[in-house]
Amino acid sequence: MADTGPDLEPEDRRRVVLKDVAALAGVSVKTVSNVVNGYVHVTPATRARVEAAIRELNYRPNLSARNLRQGRSGVIALAVPELDIPYFAELARLVVAAAEERSLTVLVDQTGGDRAREQLVAEGIRAHLIDGLIFSPLALTGEDLAARTDDTPMVLLGERIHHGPADHVVVRNVEAAREATLHLARLGRRRVAAIGAQDHPAAGTARLRLAGYREALAAAGLPADDGLVAPVAAYHRADGARAMARLLDRADPPDAVFCFNDLLALGALRTLLERGVDVPGDIAVAGFDDIEDGRYATPTLTTVAPDKEQLARRAVELLAERMAGAAPAAREIHVPHRLVVRESTAGRPARPAPDPAAAGRTS
């Protein structure tokens, strides 16, 4: 099949043009152009064929000139606080996959949650590189984003900004946190602690999940004890481990803990197991995010599972609409979540009792 391509002498190769690629791939020049420009509406099979022809002919589009002319790079940015927080890494993989279906390449930008870097991202100082932005800000406020002058299409992910100036895809944090806490109360636990409170102004997630926790305590008729609300500097395992140690050192330690993310919960679990505390016998533990680690932890971790695939897919979809020129008012899309109950609250399933039939014919 490769032999059907244009019969080019080596010295002609530097002059390969779009038409040669189209001939080899057996598609129209317009289709090759669509692939090169990263436009949607090219099937994966066609795209693969065109890319194979591009490689075979060593075709190199004059991209800088094209960018100036058409203002498209086929690249979108995903800006997240930290790539080695598994929640964001999983989300990044899903965004890359959803974007790929539209022939878009994803540039992943790690902001560190730093205000200055987030401002740079929002202000599009690298706007020449990207056609659109999916942004999960930590430090910026809705006012910051409303004051944005860059007009690169943008979709917000996560709970930081509400009623902001841009499309926004988010999980229902208050409801989800309430469900997780109610689950602990329904196990009969009476001293339900929370790990993950933060009081700096950018702590949107923390505030919403704390509100859900408090609503659940009230609904369950449990007293709110601020001593059981553990603040943390960040949402890493080490923060959860330290916060759990402080709770255990209290005169009246909790009998259950709702952690505002799974990393905090995994850190808390480690402290509990080190101190010889039985989970869930003495203390039941629930997290939030449903990262893979929690499914393999011992005990496995009860958690709130946001529909991350839908989160990624909807974000890319809304962004693609804006990039195609649609300009509806800012939309707020909620994706579903569910509580996944595992061993850290439900306990280990009893090991199957020895099968009496196998115990020998004489019994």
Site for a second copy in 231-250 (CB under 8 A): 237, 241
| 224, 292, 324, 338: residue in contact with a second copy (rule CB under 8 A) | 292
Nearest approach in angstroms of CB 320 to a second copy is 19
Nearest approach in angstroms of CB 89 to a second copy is 4
Q: Tell me whether residue 216 or residue 316 sits nearer to a second copy (CB atom).
A: 316
Q: How far apart are CA 297 and CA 335, in angstroms?
A: 26
DSSP 344-356: HHH-PPPPPPPPG
For residues 93 and 71, the answer to whether their CB atoms sit within 8 Å is no
| 162, 298, 331, 336: residue in contact with a second copy (rule CB under 8 A) | 298
Nearest approach in angstroms of CB 51 to a second copy is 6
Should residue 273 be labelled a site residue for a second copy when binding is judged by CB under 8 A? yes
Nearest to 72 by CA among 130, 7, 137: 130
Size of the site for a second copy (CB under 8 A): 54
The site string for a second copy over 20-49 (x = CB under 8 A, - otherwise) reads ----------------------------x-
Q: How far apart are CA 363 and CA 67, in angstroms?
A: 82
Site for a second copy in 92-131 (CB under 8 A): 92-93, 96, 105-110, 116, 119-120, 123, 125-129
Should residue 293 be labelled a site residue for a second copy when binding is judged by CB under 8 A? yes
| 270, 277, 333, 334: residue in contact with a second copy (rule CB under 8 A) | 270
Kindly compute the dihedral angle of the four CA atoms of residues 116, 147, 174, 297, in this order, to the nearest 10 degrees: -30
Should residue 12 be labelled a site residue for a second copy when binding is judged by CB under 8 A? no
Q: What angle do CA 237, 211, 284 make, to 5 degrees?
A: 45
For residues 184 and 255, the answer to whether their CB atoms sit within 8 Å is no
Question: Which alpha helices (H) appear in the chain, and where do they start and end?
Answer: 18-25, 29-36, 44-57, 63-70, 86-100, 115-122, 142-146, 173-186, 204-219, 237-248, 262-274, 292-296, 308-323, 343-346
Q: How far apart are CA 132 and CA 150, in angstroms?
A: 11
Binding site for a second copy (CB under 8 A): 48, 51-52, 54-55, 58, 60, 63-65, 67-68, 73, 75, 82-84, 86, 89-90, 92-93, 96, 105-110, 116, 119-120, 123, 125-129, 149, 237, 241, 266-267, 269-270, 273, 276, 292-293, 295-298, 351
